[in-house]
Chains A and B, each alone.
Chain A
Amino acid sequence: MSLQNATSPSNEPVIRCESVYKIFGDNAESLLKKANGAVDAAKFKEAGCIVGVNNASFEIHEGELLIIMGLSGSGKSTLLRCISRLTDATAGKIIIEGDDILTMNNKQLIELRRNKMGMVFQNFALLPHKTVLENIAFPLQVKGMSTSDSIDRAMEMVNLVDLTGREDYYPRQLSGGQQQRVGIARSLAIEPDIWFLDEPFSALDPLIRKEMQDEFLRLQSTLHKTIMFVTHDFDEALRLADRIAIMKDGVIEQLDTPANIVLNPATEYVRKFTEEVPREKVLKIEAVMDAVNADVSLGELSVNANTIIEDVAESILNSNAPVRVIDDEGQTVGSITAAKIVHVLFGDHSINLSETTS
Chain B
Amino acid sequence: MISAFMQKKYLQFVALLVIFILLYQTIGPAENNLLWRLPPLIQAFPLWINDSISYMMFEWWPIDIYDPDIEEYEESPLVREFTRLVSGLILFLIELIREIMLGGAKTIVTFAGWDWATANPWAKMPGLPWTVIAGGATILGYTLGGRGLALFVGLSMTYISVFGQWEPAMQTLSFVLVAAPVSVFIGLVFGIWAFRSKTVETVLNPLLNMAQIIPHFSYLIPVMVFFGIGDHAGAIATVIFATPPMVRLTLLGLKKLGPEVAESGMMSGCNNWQLLTKVLVPTARRDILIGVNQVIMQCLAMVVLASLIGAKGLGIDLLIALNRLDIGAATEIGICIVLIAIILDRMSLAWANKQTDYFPDQSFSGRHKYSLIFAVLFVVALGLAFVGQFIFPEGFNYLYIVPHNKGISIAIFLQSGVDWIWDTYFFALKGFNEWLIISFLMPVKAAYLGMPVIATFTLMMGVGLIVGGIRVALTVGGFLLFIALTKWWDRALITAYLMSVSVLVSGIIGITLGTLCAQNAKSTRFILTYCDTFQTFPSFIYLIPVMMLFGITDTAVVIAIIVYASIPALRYTVEGLLSVPDTLQDAGTMAGVNRVQRWLSIELPMSFPHIALGLNQTVVFALSMVIIGAMIGTDDLGQLILGSLSDRNGVGNGLILGICVACIGLAIDQILRTWANQRKQALGLN
Contact = CB atoms under 8 A, between A and B. Distances in A.
The yes or no verdict on A and B being binding partners is yes
Contact of B278 (A117, A138, A168, A169): A138
B263 A119 contact: yes
Contacts of A125: 260-261, 263-264
A232 interface: no
Contacts of A106: 271
Contact of A110 (B258, B269, B279): B269
A84 B267 contact: yes
Interface in B278-296: 278-279, 282-283, 285
Nearest to B274: A142
A117 B268 CA distance: 8
Contacts of A126: 264
B260 to A, nearest CB: 4
B271 A110 contact: yes
Contact of A142 (B260, B268, B285, B356): B268
Interface string B248-270: 00000000001011011011111
Contacts of B266: 86, 113
B353 to A, nearest CB: 13
Nearest to A166: B358
Contacts of B269: 110-111, 113-115, 139, 142-143, 190
Contacts of A187: 267
A39 to B, nearest CB: 25
Interface string A68-84: 00000000000001001
Given A125-B261, A129-B282, A168 B267 contact: no
A173 B263 CA distance: 23
A138 B268 contact: yes
A111 B283 CA distance: 24
Interface in A87-123: 106, 110-111, 113-115, 117-119, 121-123
A127 interface: yes
A304 interface: no
Nearest to B259: A86
Nearest to A132: B358
Contact of A172 (B268, B283, B355, B360): B355
A115 B267 CA distance: 10
A129 B285 contact: yes
Contacts of B115: none
Contacts of B258: 123
B357 interface: yes
For A125, A143, A168, A172, the residue with the greatest tally of chain B CB atoms inside 10 Å of its CB is: A125
Contacts of B260: 121-123, 125
Contacts of A58: none
Contacts of B357: 170, 173
Interface of B: 258, 260-261, 263-264, 266-271, 274, 278-279, 282-283, 285, 355-358, 360
Interface of A: 81, 84, 86, 106, 110-111, 113-115, 117-119, 121-123, 125-131, 138-139, 142-143, 168-170, 172-173, 186-187, 190, 196
The 9 closest A-B pairs by CB, nearest first: A114-B269, A125-B264, A139-B268, A119-B267, A125-B260, A129-B282, A113-B269, A168-B358, A121-B260
20 contacts: A81-B263, A84-B267, A86-B266, A106-B271, A110-B269, A110-B271, A119-B263, A119-B264, A121-B263, A123-B258, A125-B264, A127-B282, A127-B283, A130-B282, A139-B268, A142-B268, A142-B269, A170-B356, A172-B355, A187-B267
